[in-house]
Amino acid sequence: MNKQPKSFSALILFAALAAHCAETKFPPLPLEGQTFIHDPSTIIKDGTNYFIFGTGRGILTKSSPDLIHWENGGSVFRAPPAWTMQAVPAFRGFMWAPDVIHVNGKYFLYYAVSSWGKQVSAIGLATSPTLDQSATNFLWSDCGPVITSTNASAFNTIDPGVFLDADGKLWLAFGSYWEGIFLMELNSQTGLRVATNSPLYHLAWNNSIEAACLTRHSDFYYLFVNWGQCCKGTNSTYEVRVGRAEKITGPYLDRDGKNLADGGGSPFLQSSGRFIGPGHIGIVNDGASGPTRFSYHYYDADTQGRSRLAIGMIDWSDSWPVAVNDSTNDWKLVWSDEFNANGPPDPANWNYERGFVRNNELQWYQPENAFCTNGLLVIEARREHAPNPNFSTNSTDWRASREWIDYTAASLTSRRLREFTYGKFEMRARIDTRLGSWPAFWTLGATPGPGWPACGEVDIMEFYTGTVLANIDYGLDGKSKWSTVKKPIVELGGEAWSKEFHIWTMEWDEKKIDLRLDGKLMNHFDLAEADNADRSNPFHRPVYFILNQAIGGNCGGDPAQTKFPVRFEVDWVRVYQHDGGSGK
């Protein structure tokens, strides 16, 4: 966060340099929900959710199950700790530029206490054993100031950036204007400075510099900093610069070999179009392998310059960080059902299956067990007793040999209404994981002619007897083939997991299908595996959706001791496509 005025210089390139003159332009990846934030922290994962913190009264919080859909959380502090007013008399309650890290079983949250344009500042620390606000042990504890600055200091103690090295040492970079960015070692047990007189290392300087972020890749440490002026909406001139060092304490040199402490810094990210003043880089900390993701904010010209969260990717191919867009995430929303209108589901989107249908399941499907209320589609299974209208005494078909209906539920299908070829299909939902419950969100091939399994089946979400499944089934030269991945609920979080909403995703293109749960890959399938001898493949043809709540049957388990109703609650179903997809 910029605290000193600076003359405006227009920067119209939102880019990263893969070499001295190479440029790459891209917009941020599309995010949804509550994305307004300023000075975002590192994104960190706790359990199945991602968390981020931002500037605001008491420190703002947000969470996401998948890095795409974001929701607001509560503030860290209801009232500022008493020490803050003592350390910074001009402080007015807005805590700046937090950063967070998980060390030794605790979350360390660092934040700045200051006032605009002043050097009398402090960096504070709060700790909590969890970031899950619904957990019984959730509690932020104030640990007081970590370091302070006065008018006589060489530095300004704001914009903390915390980093845990591979050797277990914990470090804090900080600074804004004055003599620039400094580094000090922290105690990894307490999160506080190792000693009141421990060394401070000078890392970087510029006339307008702040928002340091440290990371390590291969043999180098990398220091990201902001140049320019923030906090002026579309007139902000923030840009991100970078240098690297062989030791964490420096010296950090840019691509041209100039020391960042002498004003060096290679361009990493700058303005483009409506995406103005990108800044406050954070490396996404979720323990995942693969490409490096980073978070930042920008000032959105489409919302009068309000600051928004954004996420990008880093290409390390030449040992320098290059900001790139992940084109595989450049999805366009082509259809959705948000279930916002109370009453029956929209008949333009959904048909119904009726009666006893498959798998010796116990429920009788009927439309009246599906309804929309409070922005949710509810598919409700009930224990109720009625005669089977299709009963036949001598029938060998299980559908007709049952004299009574003991359970009812609903199964919705988009067949002939909403059918798609390729795309990203997503559902946000909460499922009942008690014994007997068998909910599913799945696709079947829509092309007339091929029956099951030749038509192809994808179980984006299936659950029964304590296990979440991600399945792909198809016919291969007359034989049924399955690709199945199972995840026990106890490994996902048990009862607490079952009480929450989650996002299930199918990403499908000409080469593969990926099934994800809360953004984490469950099942990867190469479509070439389903090529038949006659060159047919069901996964190059349109599909339709099925949303159903089954009970018992071949896999669901015995519901006799389960208290009804059993509910499958769907927040939304969405379809995204690239330009190559098709559907209606």
Residue 16 included in any domain: no
Three-state secondary structure string covering 92-159: CCEEEEEEEEEECCEEEEEEEECCCCCCCEEEEEEEECCCCCCCCCCCCEEEEEEEEECCCCCCCCCC
pLDDT of residue 520: 80
Name the pLDDT band for 26 (thresholds 50, 70, 90): low
Calculate the alpha carbon distances from 263 to 154, 181, 212, 216, 521 in Å: 16, 11, 14, 21, 43
Catalogue the active-site residues.
39, 210
Q: What single letter denotes the amino acid at residue 297?
A: H
Query: For residue 309, what is the domain's CATH number?
Result: 2.115.10.20
Question: For 28-32, 399-403, 473-477, which range has the lowest pLDDT when averaged over its residues?
Answer: 28-32
Residues 527 and 514 in one domain: yes
pLDDT of residue 329: 52
Residues 140 and 217 in one domain: yes
pLDDT of residue 6: 31
Residues 435 and 505 in one domain: yes
Q: Output the pTM of the full model.
A: 0.60
Residues 96 and 199 in one domain: yes
Closest CA to 500 of 133, 234, 236, 139: 133
pLDDT of residue 328: 44
Which of residues 330, 351, 382 is at a domain's end? 330
pLDDT of residue 516: 92
pLDDT of residue 106: 95
Enclosing domain of residue 326: 32-330
Residue 89 included in any domain: yes
Name the pLDDT band for 326 (thresholds 50, 70, 90): low
Indicate if the pLDDT at residue 8 is higher than 70: no
Residue 340 included in any domain: yes
pLDDT of residue 315: 85
Calculate what percentage of the chain has a pLDDT beyond 90: 75
Residues 324 and 343 in one domain: no
Residues 308 and 348 in one domain: no
Closest CA to 440 of 538, 335, 343, 546: 546
Which of residues 285, 309, 330 is at a domain's end? 330
3-state SS class at 494: helix
Residue 418 included in any domain: yes
Residue 12 included in any domain: no
DSSP for 56-82, written as a single string: EET-EEEEESSSSEEEE---S-SS--H
Question: For 99-113, 259-273, 309-323, which range has the lowest pLDDT when averaged over its residues?
Answer: 309-323
Residues 223 and 341 in one domain: no
Total structural domains in the chain? Answer: 2
Closest CA to 201 of 186, 224, 185, 221: 185
Which distant-in-sequence residues (6+ apart) come within 8 Å of 193 by Cβ?
Answer: 146, 147, 184, 185, 186, 187
User: Which residues face 36 on adjacent strands?
Assistant: 308
CA 303 to chain centre: 23
Calculate what percentage of the chain has a pLDDT beyond 70: 92
Residues 269 and 346 in one domain: no
Query: For residue 341, what is the domain's CATH number?
Result: 2.60.120.200
Indicate if the pLDDT at residue 178 is higher than 50: yes
Residues 323 and 457 in one domain: no
Which of residues 269, 298, 330 is at a domain's end? 330
pLDDT tens digits for 508-534?
999 999 999 987 889 999 999 999 998
- Give the Cα-Cα-Cα angle 371, 346, 333 (nearest 5 degrees): 115
Residues 388 and 324 in one domain: no
Residues 416 and 438 in one domain: yes
Name the pLDDT band for 102 (thresholds 50, 70, 90): very high
E strand or H helix at 456, and its extent? none
Residue 250 included in any domain: yes
Residues 101 and 169 in one domain: yes
Cα separation, 410 vs 432, whole angstroms: 15
pLDDT tens digits for 343-396?
999 999 999 999 999 999 999 999 999 999 999 999 999 999 999 999 999 999
Mean pLDDT, range 214-241, rounded to an integer: 93
pLDDT of residue 286: 67
Residue 6 included in any domain: no
Residue 43 included in any domain: yes
